[in-house]
Amino acid sequence: MKLLVATHNPGKVQEYRELLSELPADLVFPAELGLDIRVVESGDSFEENAVLKARAFSQASGFLTLADDSGLEVDALGGAPGVRTARYAGHGASDADRYQLLLHNLEGVPWEARTARFRCVVALATPDGQLHTAEGRCEGVIALAPSGEHGFGYDPVFYMPEYGCTMAELDPAIKNRVSHRARAVQAAWPILEALLKSQQAG
C-alpha cells in the first residue's frame, strides 16, 4: 500500500520518513511522482489548509494522502504568525529572515511573556473522498537569540523549558518524539492504520 506525503519541504520530508518508518505502507512524495501541485493555502486555520492540500494531492494522485499545516503561535503577538508562519517575512524569505523578524517584533517583551506553541494539523484524504484530521501541539518560549543547528524553520528560537534548550538543539531522535508534528502523527496513527487496512481489504 502506498501513502503519499504531500510536502515539498525537505525538512518535513526527512521528518516524515522517520515518523512514519514503522507504518506498513510505502511512503511516496510528490517529487517522486512528478506531482508539482501548488495548493493555495487560503484557509483561516491550520486544519482548513491541511485539508485543502490533502484533498488536492489525493485527487491528483489517486493515493491515500497525508498533508499537514503547521505553524507557530506567539501569545504576546496575539497568536501571530499563526497560519502565516511560513509567509511571515514575505515571499522568498529564508528561515533566518522569518525568525529574526519574530525576534525583532518581540524586542522588549520579558521572558515570562514570550510563551508560544507549535501546532500541527495532519489531514488524511482518500481518493474516494474520506477525510480525517488529527492535531499535535508543543509548548515553549521564544528565546532571546537563535541557538542550535538541528531542525528547520523557527526551531532555533523555540525554547523548550523541560529540555533546557531550543528545538534546534534537541537530538533529532528526541524531537521526533515530542514535536508538534510527531504528536500529530501519533494522534493520526490509528486512523492511518485503519485506512490502510480498509484499502488492502478493498
- Three-point CA angle 73, 77, 81, nearest 5°: 45
Average of per-residue pLDDT values in the chain: 95
| Contact partners, residue 133, CB within 8 Å, separation at least 6 | 47, 50, 51, 121, 122, 123, 124, 188
pLDDT at 13 over 90: yes
Q: Read off the pLDDT of residues 18-56 as tens digits, 9 standing for 90 and up.
A: 999 999 999 999 999 999 888 988 899 999 999 999 999
| CATH code for the domain defined by 2-201 | 3.90.950.10
Q: Residue 202: pLDDT band by 50, 70, 90 thresholds?
A: low
| Contact indicator for 191, 124 with CB cutoff of 8 Å | yes
| The pTM of the whole model exceeds 0.85 | yes
Nearest to 117 by CA among 65, 179, 66, 62: 179
Q: How many CB atoms lie within 10 A of CB 100?
A: 16
Show me where the domains of the chain are located. Answer: 2-201
Q: How far apart are CA 1 and CA 197, in angstroms?
A: 9
Q: How many CB atoms lie within 10 A of CB 48?
A: 16
- For position 11, what pLDDT does the model report? 86
Active site residues: 69
